[in-house]
Structure 1
Amino acid sequence: MTTQLSRATHPDLPSFPERMIQFGEGNFMRAFVDWQLQQMNNQGLFNGSAVLVQPIEQGLSHLLAQQDNLYTVFLNGILNQQTVNDSEIITSVSRVINPYSQYEDYLALAENDELEFITSNTTEAGIAYNPDDRLSDAPPKSFPAKLTALLHKRFQLGKKGFVIIPCELIDRNGEKLHQIVKQYAQEWQLGDDFLQWLEAENTFCCSLVDRIVPGYPRDKAKELEAEIGYKDNVMVTAEPFLLWVIEGPEWISERLPFTKAGLNVVVTNDMTPYREQKVHILNGPHTAMVPLALLAGLETVEDVMNDDCFSSFVKQLMEDELIPMLNLPKEALHTYAEAVQERFKNPFIRHELTSISLNSISKFKTRLLPVLLRYQQENAELPKLMTLSFAALLLSYRGDRLERQDSPEVLAIFDQAWSNPASFISSILKEESLWGQDLSKVPHLSETLESNLAQLEELGSRVALQKLV
């Protein structure tokens, strides 16, 4: 019988003092931020670990605790034309705090002078204001409110602030987080001194992350455990490619010496070009392919890229609808698009479409909707592939064909709209809480989506797509 990974089975593994608070214990952050901390620790450049805070009540804290917060990252893929197939036990996570059951432990983090960095990935929907949150809540519901409570405690103790680097995939994530924290500070009447400390002692950075992390390899777990010689319930698979763009002061490179460790991290004063390229050409096609491919019975990104119809869809979407709308050098965009398609074809990792489908509505709003609207304004017509994908997304949120993974609030809006199929399109497009605007005013969008929905229902997503590619 294979023994479970723990410090008892691996007594020689090092431990490091806590230097980072990380909101989010999911697959991505453990294979991205914590993996990078590990690489710096391996070279004696950081000497620190992250204490993870579970953003929602149900999470992985118990599974990680069973393994003394150790887990394995498997890197599989092609990097610089070389095949990478590595595994490593990550020792850069100290513990996981669930603030819903350990709120005092969470607030006690403010007392630790060695903690100087805060990172987060609470999904695109995580950096949001919740008017019901109060300082007296234990804990407040939203991530920004939890952060405000912790920062206020830190201020009360007369201690230095933090470098705060959110990784959520929304535009200007650091600025938005900073803005909501200030809003809570004012509404909770925390005082001018706290607001001044917030500005003077803390550095909020915008950032952009790029690494495909399929997560737990369910189909290969037994095989991998036989290979490494121990059981690991929270192992993570990831591609070897990695990019982290941090918009902030140059001194961050000294305090977080990623580049000295040979990691592909860029500290810049303007991350805009990096963000547009990545969000629209890597994340955009991911989001576009998911509802169409799932409705066609495909399961993984590799399935999509090995399917002539769907791989043509991805290529055409990039070349005809996405790249022309981006104000960046076209040659560089085409080169990046080709590299992304190669990454999508990675035969070593199983990137399930259902894992990408989490919170698809906020992802569509961020990754595809701005390009769809720009295309319509510039060309006086709708982008055909993107609009068909939008229709498939709306159909998938009916809930009778595919499992929906979204917040109860979003699902309630869709259930209400779908309760009257005849008026579904008009009512859902008017939901500004979903789209940030009234989409029923976009010329020809309602009738095109109605037509696309009818085709998807009658013909299926594959045949509907074949008519366009």
Structure 2
Amino acid sequence: MTTDVPRLSGATLGRIAPGVHVGTRRPDAAVGIVHLGIGAFHRAHQAVYTEEAMAAEGVGHWGICGVTQRSRAVVDQLGPQDGFYGVLEGSDDGVSVRVVGSVLEVVSAGEQPELVQSRIADEAVRVVTLTVTEKGYRRDASGRLDLRDAGVQADLTGTDAPVTAIGRLVRGLQERNRRHGASITVLSCDNLVGNGEVVRGLVADFCAALPTAEGEPLREWVASSVSFPSSMVDRIVPATTDDDRAQARQLLGVRDDGLVVAEPFRQWVIEDDFAGPVPAWHRAGATLTADVAPYEAVKLRLLNATHSLLAYTGALAGYTTIAEAMRDDRLSAAATALMAQDALPTLTRPDDLDLADYQQSVLARFANPVLRHRTTQVAMDGSQKLPVRLLGTVRDRLRAGAEPRWAALAVAAWMVYVARERDALGRPLPLDDPLADRLRTAAAGPESGLVERMLAVEEVFDPELRDSAVFRGLIAEGVKELLVTR
């Protein structure tokens, strides 16, 4: 790492190259949002919208306190930079960078749990947002809070600092109720169907599992004073590389250890159901609506499902990035067919979306060579993603008497990815999944029985899918094709 170049911070903003957009802070800058899970996606998405909303309103009191759930890496990246970081955007039209200043504070939940709780309880904070990934919600197979999870059990006892996202959220809300009881909006920004209702249910489950004298009054306050709007977020944010940092250094004129990379496209659809004031996100381009579900279904079933198909088939074929996979005519044709033949018939079109244009934009975004979005990164957490991205489409098409061939191919590619553990070039394929051990056990054995063993993983497949001869046959065809072509 080059260290002789000044590092980005509040003190070095004046050294940034001319022409770079810099998000400066107003004199009234203050924390108004607590964000759980301050990874790259939040910094490239909600933090940018929030900065632009503050600029549009001419206020500074919607600054973000970012909470890192596990590693303190983000604290080390952004702390010395006073929360400032760059967003590097790239496409065929060129590369640019902007500096974002909406993050005022970064906290490690593991090291400063009392501060996290205090921030959520602060009356000046009116919004808690979350990007903790699907697995971070600690749900069981039925979608409820997994009360058997060791972390959830520990958080319910209250003897130590909470270790789960829901535990941290609820303990913060509990302290808020104890101090003053001011209303607050909790806004999930994760790829979950009805994510607002999901979080509402998990919070209720946590309260119900507490002793009655503790949990019942908390549950009643939450029901009356906390809103849980759903939202849909979209922006491709690949992992940042050393090459990206070097390019940003040339554009900025300073070193940025907190850099994130993103495509130019971004979208945020939010249910207009807030418990109190929120930033003017709509003035930064977000869509406020009474019903997020149609937008959510379009994104999950067209974009996310196709992303997973390309990730698993591309990784198996030896492609490092999604853009490389898109240059394979067979894989790009499969991606097109998945959207047009399987997913599109299951969707209700939002009034302001042209679905034909949307499909073309998805393919163009995936083909963007500048992003270098790794297939194995998209392939992470398949056991959590497949039910949300693909299996709803499969279920709907089967009920309609159709054969969801391309969605089944994506599922088959996931199974082969888990079983084979190496790509066509002999390189190892990482299995980064909360059910990794369970999946490896199911995949072990003769290839002839792979489909049956994987379909028996009840955390992923429900009885309707497991018992479908059509679905089983389509997956078997896909597995056979993938094993032969490899």
Tell me if both proteins adopt one fold, taking TM over 0.5 as the criterion.
yes
Q: Contact conserved, 1:28 with 1:215, CA < 8 A, in 2?
A: no
Are 2:133 and 1:130 equivalent residues in the alignment? no
Following superposition, the deviation at residue 301 of structure 1 comes to 2.3
With over 3 angstroms needed to count, the CA separation of the structure-2 counterparts of 1:95 and 1:309, relative to structure 1, is same
For 1:159, the equivalent position in structure 2 comes to 181
**CA distance, structure 2, for counterparts of residue 272 and residue 61 of structure 1:** 35
Aligned length: 451
Q: Contact conserved, 2:120 with 2:128, CA < 8 A, in 1?
A: no
Are 2:268 and 1:257 equivalent residues in the alignment? no
Look up the SS of the partner of 1:9 in the other structure.
helix
Q: Contact conserved, 1:431 with 1:437, CA < 8 A, in 2?
A: no
Are 2:263 and 1:239 equivalent residues in the alignment? yes
Match of 2:85 among 65, 71, 89: 71
Look up the SS of the partner of 2:161 in the other structure.
coil
Q: Contact conserved, 1:135 with 1:149, CA < 8 A, in 2?
A: no
Are 2:440 and 1:415 equivalent residues in the alignment? yes
Match of 1:276 among 277, 288, 297: 297
**CA distance, structure 2, for counterparts of residue 412 and residue 438 of structure 1:** 25
Following superposition, the deviation at residue 445 of structure 1 comes to 3.2
Are 2:461 and 1:439 equivalent residues in the alignment? no
For 1:229, the equivalent position in structure 2 comes to 253
For 2:18, the equivalent position in structure 1 comes to none
Are 2:369 and 1:369 equivalent residues in the alignment? no
Q: Contact conserved, 1:19 with 1:115, CA < 8 A, in 2?
A: yes
**CA distance, structure 2, for counterparts of residue 229 and residue 135 of structure 1:** 50
Unaligned runs of 5+ in 1: 461-469
Counterparts of 1:282-301 in structure 2 under 5 Å? 282-301=303-322
Aligned-CA RMSD value: 2.5
2:81 maps to amino acid: Q
**CA distance, structure 2, for counterparts of residue 32 and residue 7 of structure 1:** 21
For 1:30, the equivalent position in structure 2 comes to 43
Are 2:414 and 1:393 equivalent residues in the alignment? yes
Match of 2:127 among 91, 102, 117: 117
Are 2:110 and 1:96 equivalent residues in the alignment? no
Look up the SS of the partner of 1:96 in the other structure.
strand
**CA distance, structure 2, for counterparts of residue 347 and residue 448 of structure 1:** 32
Counterparts of 1:159-238 in structure 2 under 5 Å? 159-189=181-211, 190-238=214-262
Unaligned runs of 5+ in 2: 16-23, 140-144, 148-152, 423-427
For 1:145, the equivalent position in structure 2 comes to 167
Are 2:478 and 1:452 equivalent residues in the alignment? yes
With over 3 angstroms needed to count, the CA separation of the structure-2 counterparts of 1:411 and 1:372, relative to structure 1, is same
Q: TM-score, normalised by structure 1?
A: 0.88
Q: Which whole-Å deviations, capped at 9, do the CAs of 1:364-407 have from their partners, x for residues lacking one?
A: 110111112222232353x2222222111112123621433434
2:10 maps to amino acid: R
**CA distance, structure 2, for counterparts of residue 380 and residue 266 of structure 1:** 34
1:204 maps to amino acid: F
For 1:351, the equivalent position in structure 2 comes to 373
Q: Contact conserved, 2:232 with 2:270, CA < 8 A, in 1?
A: yes
With over 3 angstroms needed to count, the CA separation of the structure-2 counterparts of 1:152 and 1:319, relative to structure 1, is same
Runs of 4+ in structure 1 displaced over 4 angstroms? Answer: none
**CA distance, structure 1, for counterparts of residue 165 and residue 396 of structure 2:** 31
1:224 maps to amino acid: A
Q: Contact conserved, 1:242 with 1:264, CA < 8 A, in 2?
A: no
Match of 2:30 among 14, 17, 21: 17
**CA distance, structure 2, for counterparts of residue 348 and residue 458 of structure 1:** 32
**CA distance, structure 2, for counterparts of residue 259 and residue 45 of structure 1:** 14
For 1:311, the equivalent position in structure 2 comes to 332
For 1:5, the equivalent position in structure 2 comes to 8
**CA distance, structure 2, for counterparts of residue 366 and residue 437 of structure 1:** 16
Q: Contact conserved, 1:103 with 1:138, CA < 8 A, in 2?
A: no
Look up the SS of the partner of 1:245 in the other structure.
strand
Q: Structure 1 vs Structure 2: percent identity of aligned residues?
A: 24
**CA distance, structure 1, for counterparts of residue 402 and residue 265 of structure 2:** 38
With over 3 angstroms needed to count, the CA separation of the structure-2 counterparts of 1:88 and 1:367, relative to structure 1, is same
**CA distance, structure 1, for counterparts of residue 47 and residue 231 of structure 2:** 16
For 1:463, the equivalent position in structure 2 comes to none
Following superposition, the deviation at residue 139 of structure 1 comes to 3.1
Q: Which whole-Å deviations, capped at 9, do the CAs of 1:224-259 have from their partners, x for residues lacking one?
A: 21221122122112122222111133787x632122
Q: Contact conserved, 2:228 with 2:273, CA < 8 A, in 1?
A: no
Following superposition, the deviation at residue 420 of structure 1 comes to 3.0
Look up the SS of the partner of 2:176 in the other structure.
helix
Greater mean deviation of Cα atoms: 285-294 or 448-457: 448-457
Following superposition, the deviation at residue 175 of structure 1 comes to 0.8
For 1:50, the equivalent position in structure 2 comes to 64
With over 3 angstroms needed to count, the CA separation of the structure-2 counterparts of 1:137 and 1:393, relative to structure 1, is farther
**CA distance, structure 2, for counterparts of residue 111 and residue 86 of structure 1:** 38
